[in-house]
């Protein structure tokens, strides 16, 4: 191979792989070990990212550089999953300091630096691609991420984000969880159980935790309330025997004045019909749990003494699939 041809092939490889190349690829193109070492010397134009994997520029590697390096290190057919794959789909991952990579069970690779290698007998049959990179589909990426988390609120956030944005359904997540390993699956199983009950977000899960911890009667979660054929509201929690509705109002989901005015109009409508609407912020759930529970308990007791209202309640269907 002539020097010009070698340079052309190298330029093409660098372009296709976002500036990241492996030693094996370079040697295959005809570059010598001495030439490689010269480029990665201290102060040289290239830098070592992982054993046998180089970034052909100086400066701090980007996430894309790290993903490409992880894929080259893991070997042909490797699939990026976990938080990096979630980010690829526009979701909010809990962390991006590690690149999780799936490899076939018979392959030997160890986790190193920013690469977390997982050997598996369940290599994804379908993937999403970006150039030479392969990413696990959303349900697999979400479940793989969830198994690495040890905080139920983080698991709720990961699952809620994927479902609220319509990237996957409850059924897909359930199937993925059922086919995956049992180890570290307790929290994802708990959260999927909450979703089946009607929980749609992290703060709603926090509210459910408070209610259970205080041994309050279990409410209906996210039901539709009607007076005759008139739709009233879909509160986060609803006690039909006392006509008490609880909503957790987070500014994260009320970013405009119009949305906030809509919330207040719903509150006024419920109040005018005799419903006892209670509104709490995520901060109150975390910092004032005793006050929150007391208000719910006192209002629930007042509702029981007053008696039920002619409100038609339609249980939350499995809207998420």
pLDDT tens for each residue of 36-84: 999 999 999 999 999 999 999 999 999 999 999 999 999 999 999 999 9
Position 151 in a domain: no
CB 72 within 8 A of CB 148: no
**What are the residues whose beta carbons fall under 8 Å from the beta carbon of 63, sequence distance 6 or more?**
84, 87, 96
Position 267 in a domain: yes
Q: Of 319, 306, 292, 303, whose CA–CA distance to 239 is shortest?
A: 303
Domain of residue 288, CATH code: 3.40.960
pLDDT at 198: 80
Q: Of 58, 128, 115, whose CA–CA distance to 87 is shortest?
A: 128
Position 223 in a domain: yes
pLDDT digits (tens, 9 = 90+) for 6-35: 788 999 999 999 999 999 999 999 999 999
pLDDT digits (tens, 9 = 90+) for 78-94: 999 999 999 999 999 99
Q: Of 296, 243, 297, whose CA–CA distance to 271 is shortest?
A: 243
pLDDT at 182: 92
Strands 244-248 and 276-280, bridge-based pairing: parallel
Q: Of 113, 112, 167, whose CA–CA distance to 145 is shortest?
A: 167
Position 284 in a domain: yes
Q: What is the DSSP string of 48-75?
A: EEETTEEESS-SPPPHHHHHHHHHHHH-
CB 144 within 8 A of CB 82: yes
Question: How many structural domains comprise the chain?
Answer: 2
| Whole-number percent of the chain with pLDDT over 90 | 82
Position 118 in a domain: no
pLDDT at 252: 47
Strand partners, 197: none
Tally Cβ neighbours within 10 Å of residue 230. 10
Q: Tokens 């057919």, residue?
A: 77
CB 220 within 8 A of CB 254: no
Question: What does the alpha-carbon distance between residue 201 and residue 183 come to, in Å, rounded to a whole number?
Answer: 24
pLDDT digits (tens, 9 = 90+) for 188-201: 999 999 888 888 78
Position 232 in a domain: yes
**Residue that terminates a domain, selected from 33, 55, 77:** 55
Mapping DSSP to helix (H, G, I), strand (E, B) and coil, where does residue 81 land? strand
Using alpha carbons only, give the angle 309, 313, 317 rounded to the nearest 5 degrees. Answer: 165
pLDDT at 57: 96
**Residue that terminates a domain, selected from 55, 80, 97:** 55
Position 228 in a domain: yes
pLDDT digits (tens, 9 = 90+) for 129-151: 999 999 999 999 999 999 999 99
Structure tokens at 231: 């739709």
Question: What does the alpha-carbon distance between residue 147 and residue 135 come to, in Å, rounded to a whole number?
Answer: 17
The rounded mean pLDDT for the chain is 91
pLDDT over threshold 60, residue 302: yes
pLDDT at 256: 54
In whole angstroms, what separates CA 281 from the centre of its chain? Answer: 22
CB 76 within 8 A of CB 131: no
Position 180 in a domain: no
pLDDT at 260: 67
Expressed as residue numbers, the domain containing 32 is 3-55
pLDDT over threshold 80, residue 103: yes
pLDDT digits (tens, 9 = 90+) for 148-184: 999 998 999 999 899 988 999 999 999 999 999 999 9
């Amino acid at each position: 191979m002539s020097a010009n041809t070698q340079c052309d092939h190298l330029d093409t490889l660098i372009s296709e792989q976002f500036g990241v190349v492996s030693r094996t690829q370079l040697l295959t193109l005809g570059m010598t070990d001495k030439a490689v070492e010269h480029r990665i010397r201290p102060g040289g134009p290239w830098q070592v990212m992982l054993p046998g994997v180089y970034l052909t520029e100086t400066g701090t590697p980007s996430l894309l550089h790290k993903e490409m390096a992880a894929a080259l290190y893991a070997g042909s057919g490797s699939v990026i999953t976990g938080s990096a794959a979630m980010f690829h789909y526009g979701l909010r991952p809990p962390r991006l300091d590690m690149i999780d990579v799936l490899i076939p069970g018979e392959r030997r690779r160890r986790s190193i630096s920013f690469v977390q290698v997982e050997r598996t007998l369940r290599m994804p049959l379908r993937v999403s691609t970006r150039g030479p990179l392969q990413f696990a589909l959303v349900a697999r990426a979400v479940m793989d991420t969830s198994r690495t988390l040890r905080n139920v609120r983080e698991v709720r956030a990961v699952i809620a984000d994927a479902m609220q944005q319509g990237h996957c359904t409850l059924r897909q997540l359930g199937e993925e969880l059922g086919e995956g390993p049992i180890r570290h699956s307790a929290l994802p199983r708990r959260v999927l159980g909450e979703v089946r009950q009607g929980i749609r977000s992290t703060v709603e899960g926090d509210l459910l935790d408070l209610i259970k911890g205080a041994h309050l009667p279990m409410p209906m979660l996210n039901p539709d309330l009607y007076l005759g054929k008139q739709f009233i509201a879909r509160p986060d929690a609803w006690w039909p025997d006392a006509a008490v509705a609880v909503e957790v109002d987070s500014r994260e989901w009320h970013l405009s004045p119009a949305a906030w005015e809509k919330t207040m109009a719903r509150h006024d409508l419920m109040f005018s019909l005799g419903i006892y609407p209670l509104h709490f912020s995520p901060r109150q759930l975390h910092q004032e749990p005793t006050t929150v529970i007391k208000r719910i308990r006192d209002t629930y007791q007042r509702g029981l003494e007053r008696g039920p209202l002619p409100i038609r309640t339609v249980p939350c269907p499995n809207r998420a699939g």
